[in-house]
A and B are shown apart, each in its own frame.
Chain A
Amino acid sequence: MADLTEKLKNISEKIGRDFVKTDLQTVAQYAIDGLTPAAVIFPKNTAEVSDVVKFANQLRLAIVPWGSGSQIRMGNPPRKLDLVVCTRRLNHMLDVDTQNLTITVEAGVKLRDIQARLATEEDRCYLPLEDLNIAADEIICSDRSHSGCFIPLDPPSSEKTTIGGVVAGSASGPRRLLYNLPRDIILGVRFVTPQGDVPGSGGKTVKNVSGYDISKLMVGSMGSLGIITEMTFRLMPLPEKMKTLLLGFDSLDAAHRCVNSILKTKLLPAAVETMTAAAYEHLGFKGAPEFSPGRVAVAISLEAFAPAVDRMQREMLKTAKDHGVLSSAVFDEHKHLQFWLAVSAQDAGFDAAYANLIRAKVNFHISQWKEIFEFADRSLTALKIGHAIRAHSGSGICLINLLMDRGAEGQKQKALAFMEELLQLSRKAGGNTVIQNAPADLKPKLKIWGEAGSDLVAMKLLKQQLDPNDVMSPGRFVGGL
């Protein structure tokens, strides 16, 4: 290690001593699954990232890229960890072209800063800016374009996540129902390869079939093929009207019937989020005081032309009534934004509050959400493990948080058996189960990325070709890649 410290001087000289941190206090903050890096490096642009990666590749050092750290608990424990490369200083918006509805940004730009930049003159924005507690020293774009558009993404931790993190983790949220996934809105990418080269792909046109679609390959690649440094996305005009419907039901059956009849209509909600009462209560949302979630709450996001929102509200409330809704609440604009921000912040809140938290993201055939939801709720209740479940109904995704605190050793063992059952059930429902967070000691006993499919062989071919020295996030991804 002393040897490495000596060698790090080279890189310190290149990018500045202040930006290569080796002190114990700093490196400890960047530990991953119990492994502490020898150094944390803060390059300021793509060229510097390239310098760092070339250096690491020469010495066969292992790198894990880091944005805001909001998804760093995902993945297998790294096989090896020498350097954390933090994208925090790559925080420039390179091309904000609202007329063409595209934006090009560096990886360390925060999602909220992009939304703020795209807000209207009256600060109408896709995030509730005044609720974000943005510290004065943090960069927020002063040069507003007043365009009234937004980047159609609502990943977890929308208030702090970096855009590079959203893309590398293919992070999505409830409103993917209407706006789809990061893969669907990315138009171009530039990244630093494991050898330190800086290729690009795609561009700023929505249609582009010149060469392989490497942007999509990089989305969700979890830092295992390189460090994404620049991305271009398509934007959307801000919805004319935004509204939330909250519906409380006394049983999952009733909620399920109501949700399914809504999804069968031609109406186009932005999100249909079904959650256990515990998940709702944990949101700590103060905006609907009269609302009682019952046993299962359904939150529907409506984002469209004003008359369409009004019609959806009318028809969906009627459907809810037909299915025996216990309680309902409707709110718009600012409260709407606050509510969905709270949903987005929930998982990070759990991560911070529960030392032994396990979170699974289950995917499955769209029609199967009730089976997965019901199985998890019933099993975890029987095991006396506190839990919060949310399903992106209509998208075939369910998020299951096992709220286990320090010292819950007995529960942890039971949780392992539950996770295995959940995995098998999700396989039967045509999907898989990914563990988004688990205590470091449990990770080796869990199938973090679910069960590998027949395409693992192709993933290995790619990884070996592009990262022969296993420099980038070694061991963290699917199949131990």
Chain B
Amino acid sequence: MDKQKLIERLKEIVDPEYVLTTEMDLALYSYDASLDKAKPDVVVLPDSTEQVSKIMALAYKEKIPILGRGSGTNLTGGTIPVKGGIVVHFSRMNRILKLDYENLTATAEPGVITLDLQTRVLKDGFIYQPDPASQKVSTLGGNVGENSGGPHCLKYGVTSNHVQGLEVVLADGTVIQTGGESRDNPGFDLTGLFVGSEGTIGMVTKVILKLEKAPEAVKTMLAIFETIEDGANTVSAIIAEGIIPATLEMMDNTVMRAVEETIKVGYPLDAAAVLIIELDGMPEGMEEKALKIMEICKKNNVREVKLAKNENERTILWAGRKGAFGSVGQVRPSYLCCDGTVPRTKLPEVLSKVIEIGKKYRLPIGNVFHAGDGNLHPLIMFDERDEDEKQRVLKASTEILKLCADAGGTISGEHGVGLEKLKETHFIFNEGDLQLERDIKSAFDADNILNPGKMIPAAESAV
């Protein structure tokens, strides 16, 4: 179908003002938070499931590549239209449809901003746990597509653990409901399969999320270490003690410096690393556990442990962590965040090798990450305009991911494979594993129109 005709047909489905076609518009939808770029043929902003279904049916009939996107905060190129075609932007489908506190569920459209839902339910004493650092901007649909993580995943699990049902538009436009407002609906766990499928097997138009009662008490601590190794050892030791904090986040000196230059939160600039440790739940026993944690920190040569005395102090401690990625932009104009994950006991060893890799490629690397679940985020800082430097970054990133895979971990903890890690999938999967993924993809998308070129490397590229 020629492009002009496609645009006309789309304008029959949605109000013409929501079909974007200018060069400027297309350029705006050509990138996300990763390093790649590619322009779509057209961008469309539907307002209902029915419209999405019609758009999909059109794409299906004409075999046009199509992908959905929210705010485009993803870090691996998941929303870049590498094969052109249609980008469906969910910004208008941003309604919270139902808050059912008796059933502990929230039903919402995919364009709702994660933090908006969280703020809304917290007012009533409930919590939606997944808290990706991008929660102020990211959408629920994006979180579902990528199976986003966040600091609180250590105790509460990732997005998938909090999604109970979905409305999904299949490739041919058929609308299905997976899971539901009740638990344990019979049949395959399609909800589990669609969460984290990066838009490659269907487009989500509604999400049913699990809510929990907000914890009664929270205790947040900042532990300051002279060496990264001491910090990493503390992480394992706390969990070995039978304590599962809500979060165990680590930040190294490079990142703390960047944070202090932008948001002043009072991190110690002469220390090698800090851990943010947060306990939540019933207050009984929490004091005792906090003392135990301090003892463990001391055993691991901590310089000092600060306890947030009130909500304000807690917010300040977290502001640094949440703003860390943004602050790193102060050091160099661009960064690449590797998302390799390792069993937590491997952290000290893997972290020291990451530092070596930085030295080898002459690149500054900052570490700010979810230490409790072994989810590294080495931020490799560089200038995108320097082609030589960019090439070194890509090599360093691949090497770091290989390191994680070899340590018994994986290449992506929470950011997804997207475009960026296609070749690294071979570090953890053999051809048979990948073939199963291709089979699943083709069950739902035989014509390969749904976010093509993402997540699963093509068979012939196998080395």
> B244 within 8 Å of A by Cβ?
yes
- Looking across the interface, which residue of chain B has its beta carbon closest to that of A450? B186
Given contact pairs A183-B192, A216-B160, A209 touches B103 in the complex (Cβ within 8 A):
no
B242 and A207 contact, CB distance less than 8 A: no
- In the complex, what distance in Å separates the CA atom of A234 from the CA atom of B109? 31
- In the complex, what distance in Å separates the CA atom of A235 from the CA atom of B183? 22
> B124 within 8 Å of A by Cβ?
no
Q: Which of B401-422 contact A (CB under 8 A)?
A: 408-417, 421
Partner of A199, one of B186, B202, B236, B436: B436
> B240 within 8 Å of A by Cβ?
yes
> B380 within 8 Å of A by Cβ?
no
Partner of A430, one of B174, B181, B236: B181
> B149 within 8 Å of A by Cβ?
yes
A466 and B160 contact, CB distance less than 8 A: no
> B207 within 8 Å of A by Cβ?
no
Q: Which of A176-214 contact B (CB under 8 A)?
A: 180-181, 183-184, 193, 197-201, 203-214
A466 and B439 contact, CB distance less than 8 A: yes
- In the complex, what distance in Å separates the CA atom of A148 from the CA atom of B239? 12
B187 and A456 contact, CB distance less than 8 A: yes
* Residues of B with C-beta under 8 A to A465: 439-440, 442-443
0 or 1 for each of B280-294: is its CB under 8 Å from A? (1 = yes): 011011101100000
> A236 within 8 Å of B by Cβ?
yes
How large, as a class, is the contact surface on chain A? 35 or more
Given contact pairs A213-B193, A236-B244, A311-B282, A207 touches B153 in the complex (Cβ within 8 A):
yes
How large, as a class, is the contact surface on chain B? 35 or more
Q: Which of A356-379 contact B (CB under 8 A)?
A: 361, 363-367
A458 and B170 contact, CB distance less than 8 A: yes
0 or 1 for each of B433-463: is its CB under 8 Å from A? (1 = yes): 1111101101110000000000110000000
Stretch at the interface among A94-102, A293-301, A381-389: A94-102
B410 and A455 contact, CB distance less than 8 A: no
- Looking across the interface, which residue of chain A has its beta carbon closest to that of B147? A209
> B348 within 8 Å of A by Cβ?
no
- In the complex, what distance in Å separates the CA atom of A454 from the CA atom of B170? 11
Q: Give the one of A200, A206, A312, A461 with max B CB within 10 A.
A: A206
> A27 within 8 Å of B by Cβ?
no
Residues of B within 8 A of A (CB): 100, 102-104, 146-147, 149, 153-154, 157-158, 160-161, 168, 170, 174-178, 180-193, 195-197, 202, 213-216, 236, 239-240, 242-244, 281-282, 284-286, 288-289, 341-345, 370, 373-375, 408-417, 421, 425, 428-429, 432-437, 439-440, 442-444, 455-456
Residues of A within 8 A of B (CB): 97, 99-102, 148-149, 170, 172, 180-181, 183-184, 193, 197-201, 203-217, 219-221, 225, 236-238, 240, 266-268, 304-308, 310-312, 361, 363-367, 395-397, 429-432, 434, 449-450, 452-459, 461-462, 464-466, 477-479
By Cβ-Cβ distance, the 10 closest A-B pairs, closest first, are: A216-B192, A305-B285, A237-B242, A465-B443, A207-B413, A307-B284, A431-B182, A367-B102, A308-B284, A199-B436
